[in-house]
Structure 1
Amino acid sequence: MNKFLIILMHTYMSKLKSKSFIISTLITTLLIVGVTNIQSIIDVFDKQEDKIVAVIDEEGTIAPLLEQQLATNPNSNLNLEVVSEESEAESKVTEGEYDGLLVLSTDQNGLPSGVYKAASITDSETMTQVEVMLQQVKNELATSQLGLSQEEIAQLYTPINFDVVALEESAKSAEELNQARGLVYVLLFVIYFSVILYASMIATEVAVEKSSRVMEILISSASPIMHMFGKILGIALLSLTQLAFWILVGYSSLSRNLDGMTEAGGVFEFFGVGDLPVATFVYAIVFFLLGYFLYATFAAFLGSLVSRIEEIQQMIMPMTLLIVAGFMISMFGLGNPDNSFIQVTSFIPFFAPMIMFLRVGMLNVPIWEISLSIGILVATIMLLAIFGAKVYRGGVLMYGKSSSLKDIKKALQLTKNK
């Protein structure tokens, strides 16, 4: 046990103090602070400069209606200026004096249409605002031609009442489902990127020690399974430290930037997930840890098969493809979590950490299904650990070019001969 703790703490402290870990943590922290303060950053650069759009109205009847529409939106930074010379207005648009030119005309029914001209069509916000205003004017003219009163027009455009009701007593409401979908979407990304990042870190750590020939000494002083899980748990402790730091930074930054969100749970209320059951967050942690140990064990023995760091990415490619496949399936499942394909894949161990968590977060899954999926995951981790330890023991003693999974057979043969 003492040797195991030494390996664990050595792995944890050496990676914690490494320059690459410190730099990546600081860069990601800056990104988190930037994202959580994005509105303040936008406000600094976005000075809400007034937009001036020249208007040519051949009939002289549409421009006043547009100005009336504009007057109903006091927060708009758009200004209309009626002009008569189209060529002169186009020149001023090119020179930057006007942001755009709107040429109005009417069809045989007296309904408006327009041509918007700009130096470039990258300012989609202004174009959209002008188009919406013109559409509203057209709607008003069309309804007035039909002889509809203001009350009838208002009734025409009033949205219908359309409620969705689940008949099963245990089914989640539409609001609860939307909350769960948002949370699951975020946590799936966390699980996906964390597993890829930290599993790759384990494979790289093993390859680095092997390339320096330190591995032969380490293996002779501790059993391979002890050494392997010392690495895995050391990186797990490192990942939890890093993730906890990022969560605290993100939560603190959001709390300072959201009015009235300083109390506990305020940020969750702001994002609309305050009503979600605690079990959803508990399952997120459970499936995150199980997914980590599954892929970390996989990565450890794959890393033991290579002799050079440059070969790491090629060797762990099958593992990466499995993670990507699980993530893509879970993205499909967000829109249809009851799908039979989603149900089946939630029991496949390499997909279960993401897909079963998706189902648990969005549906009321029977406890036996959750228990079965977790049991299969735990059993797979144990089997992978036993098999991985055998591959690991022989793999760390293999040197030379390693570029395929056929090297597993060589590693097992070396283990038998020891």
Structure 2
Amino acid sequence: MASKTKVVAITEFMTSVKRKEFIILTFLLPLILVMSMVIPLFFMQTISHQKETLGVVDESGIVLPILKERYTDYIIKEVPSPEEARQLLENNIISNYIVIPKDFLKVGKASYYSKVQLSSFSSANINLERILSDIVIESLLSDKGVSKETINKVKSPIEMERITVTKKGEEVETPFSFVGNYLLPLFLFMSIMNAGGYLLNGIIEEKENKVVEVLLSTISPNELLSGKILGLGGLGILQVGIWISGIVIITSFLKIPLVSFEKGIIIMIFFILGYLFYSSIFAMIGSISTSTRDSQQISAVVSFLVFIPLLLFFGIVQNPNMAFIRLLGMVPPFIPTIMMMRVLLSEVPIIDIVLSMLILSLSLIVSAKIASKIFKVGILMHGKKPSLSEVLRWVRG
């Protein structure tokens, strides 16, 4: 590294690492994200210990004793009639009630009443439906002379164990980890955008303050731009290192398996290439912008493009190697985020990894050359925003 480039890189790193924004984003934002998941879980756990009362009108005379034995989500209260149950509900003596008709075992239908809109995803409702289904299954099969062991097998016929076969032929149990599979790409995305934002704002500030004119009297535009990108790249690596350390601590505490060393290396390569690619784009934006407002409007579009793969997260989870996702993973703006998620979620074909790295590397070379040409001219322009034809002329020049 040239001595002048090294000086710029160190200066950019030391200046940015002391910024309040960097400290807040590095330490407070991940904490807020983690707390946003932990606090709801805490409240759900607390609520689960504060049991409400479920009224049961059992016209069949069979279900109530079984519910009292098996259903622990609510306190079970026997109610003689639907009319009395409705009165108790209106007086807030019970929170919900269920009516079991006389022919329940034959028709398999019951009615559940509540003052609040019921969620089909509620664990309490799911457990209640499961218990009622088990009661019907047990009754029907017992009448046919089926053994208790067979009935239990019918109620829980399978237990699915998810195994990933690695490229080495190893079998690894792979529970889904939201912490690793979603938050890690999200943090890497934020780091790329954060470092790119510092680069963009730094260029704009130096143009507005005309500091860049003084700098260019002692250093070439390429050395200045390279130093800025390398210094802020080091900042991004430091930030990611802190976040990964935090993720390792959390996942170790929760006993959630992390990715292998090989996958970690692949993810970091995509992160570095992605950072360099987007840094060159942010350098272009900063060079042609005349104010912070102009740059923010353009950079918002770029940031949205990078964020699109995260919006497709649940689709990628369903099938990380589907044709559409593989194709999207070959489009330069989407490659870093898409490929990081795919590597975390599955065994990605080696051809996809090599091809996407090659495309991203070539895109980086092209964008870096374009950024260098635009930076040489645009960094010294003030007041007037260049037209598209002017920018194209700089690139061809």
TM-score, normalization by structure 1: 0.77
Give the number of aligned pairs: 393
The aligned counterpart of 2:265 is 282
CA contact (8 A) 2:95 2:114 kept: yes
After superposition, what is the alpha-carbon deviation per residue over 1:280-303, rounded to whole angstroms, capped at 9, x for unaligned?
111111111011111111111112
* Alpha-carbon distance between aligned partners in 1 of 2:57 and 2:386, rounded to the nearest angstrom: 69
The aligned counterpart of 2:11 is 10
Query: Does the residue aligned with 2:86 lie in a helix, a strand or coil?
Result: helix
CA contact (8 A) 1:391 1:408 kept: yes
* Alpha-carbon distance between aligned partners in 1 of 2:221 and 2:354, rounded to the nearest angstrom: 30
* Alpha-carbon distance between aligned partners in 1 of 2:309 and 2:269, rounded to the nearest angstrom: 17
* Alpha-carbon distance between aligned partners in 2 of 1:277 and 1:252, rounded to the nearest angstrom: 16
After superposition, what is the alpha-carbon deviation per residue over 1:81-134, rounded to whole angstroms, capped at 9, x for unaligned?
112253443233234321211122133864553211122135734333333222
Query: Does the residue aligned with 1:80 lie in a helix, a strand or coil?
Result: strand
The aligned counterpart of 2:347 is 363
Residues 59 and 32 of structure 1: is their aligned pair in 2 closer, same or farther, counting only changes over 3 Å?
A: closer
After superposition, what is the alpha-carbon deviation per residue over 1:195-229, rounded to whole angstroms, capped at 9, x for unaligned?
33332332222222222222222233321111112
Pairwise CA distance, 1:54: 1.1
* Alpha-carbon distance between aligned partners in 2 of 1:353 and 1:146, rounded to the nearest angstrom: 59
Alignment of 1:42-81 (within 5 A): 42=43, 45-46=46-47, 48-70=49-71, 76-81=72-77
CA contact (8 A) 1:111 1:141 kept: no
Coordinate RMSD, CA, aligned: 3.8
The aligned counterpart of 1:236 is 233
* Alpha-carbon distance between aligned partners in 2 of 1:251 and 1:132, rounded to the nearest angstrom: 37
1:118 aligns with 2:109: no
The aligned counterpart of 1:262 is none
1:272 aligns with 2:269: no
Pairwise CA distance, 1:178: 6.6
CA contact (8 A) 1:5 1:230 kept: yes
Residues 163 and 247 of structure 1: is their aligned pair in 2 closer, same or farther, counting only changes over 3 Å?
A: closer
Residues 251 and 139 of structure 1: is their aligned pair in 2 closer, same or farther, counting only changes over 3 Å?
A: same
CA contact (8 A) 1:347 1:376 kept: yes
Pairwise CA distance, 1:63: 1.8
Residues 104 and 360 of structure 1: is their aligned pair in 2 closer, same or farther, counting only changes over 3 Å?
A: closer
Residues 405 and 205 of structure 1: is their aligned pair in 2 closer, same or farther, counting only changes over 3 Å?
A: farther
The aligned counterpart of 1:299 is 282
The aligned counterpart of 2:103 is 107
After superposition, what is the alpha-carbon deviation per residue over 1:50-104, rounded to whole angstroms, capped at 9, x for unaligned?
221111123433322322433xxxxx34221112253443233234321211122
Query: Does the residue aligned with 2:245 lie in a helix, a strand or coil?
Result: helix
Gaps of 5+ in 2: none
Name which of 127, 130, 135 aligns with 2:128: 130
Q: Which letter maps to 2:17?
A: L
* Alpha-carbon distance between aligned partners in 1 of 2:301 and 2:194, rounded to the nearest angstrom: 15
The aligned counterpart of 1:83 is 79
The aligned counterpart of 1:399 is 382
The aligned counterpart of 2:32 is 31
Residues 245 and 333 of structure 1: is their aligned pair in 2 closer, same or farther, counting only changes over 3 Å?
A: closer
CA contact (8 A) 2:104 2:110 kept: no
* Alpha-carbon distance between aligned partners in 2 of 1:97 and 1:235, rounded to the nearest angstrom: 62
CA contact (8 A) 1:3 1:222 kept: yes
What is the percentage of aligned positions where both structures have the same residue? 24
Query: Does the residue aligned with 2:75 lie in a helix, a strand or coil?
Result: strand
After superposition, what is the alpha-carbon deviation per residue over 1:229-254, rounded to whole angstroms, capped at 9, x for unaligned?
22212221222222222333343455
1:316 aligns with 2:284: no
Q: Which letter maps to 2:94?
A: Y
Q: Which moved more, 1:236-245 or 1:21-30?
A: 21-30
The aligned counterpart of 2:357 is 374
Q: Which moved more, 1:91-100 or 1:152-161?
A: 152-161
The aligned counterpart of 1:20 is 21
The aligned counterpart of 2:336 is 353
Query: Does the residue aligned with 1:106 lie in a helix, a strand or coil?
Result: coil
CA contact (8 A) 1:33 1:250 kept: no
1:199 aligns with 2:183: no
Q: Which letter maps to 1:92?
A: L
CA contact (8 A) 1:104 1:115 kept: yes
* Alpha-carbon distance between aligned partners in 1 of 2:296 and 2:29, rounded to the nearest angstrom: 22
Pairwise CA distance, 1:318: 5.2
Pairwise CA distance, 1:38: 5.2
Alignment of 1:188-267 (within 5 A): 188-253=185-250, 255=252, 257-258=253-254
Q: Which letter maps to 1:64?
A: P
* Alpha-carbon distance between aligned partners in 2 of 1:118 and 1:340, rounded to the nearest angstrom: 45
Q: Which moved more, 1:97-106 or 1:56-65?
A: 56-65
CA contact (8 A) 1:347 1:373 kept: yes
* Alpha-carbon distance between aligned partners in 1 of 2:79 and 2:385, rounded to the nearest angstrom: 74
Alignment of 1:122-201 (within 5 A): 122=118, 124-159=122-157, 170=167, 175=172, 186-201=183-198
* Alpha-carbon distance between aligned partners in 1 of 2:208 and 2:144, rounded to the nearest angstrom: 83
Q: Which moved more, 1:138-147 or 1:177-186?
A: 177-186
Pairwise CA distance, 1:29: 4.2
CA contact (8 A) 1:398 1:411 kept: no
* Alpha-carbon distance between aligned partners in 2 of 1:102 and 1:331, rounded to the nearest angstrom: 35
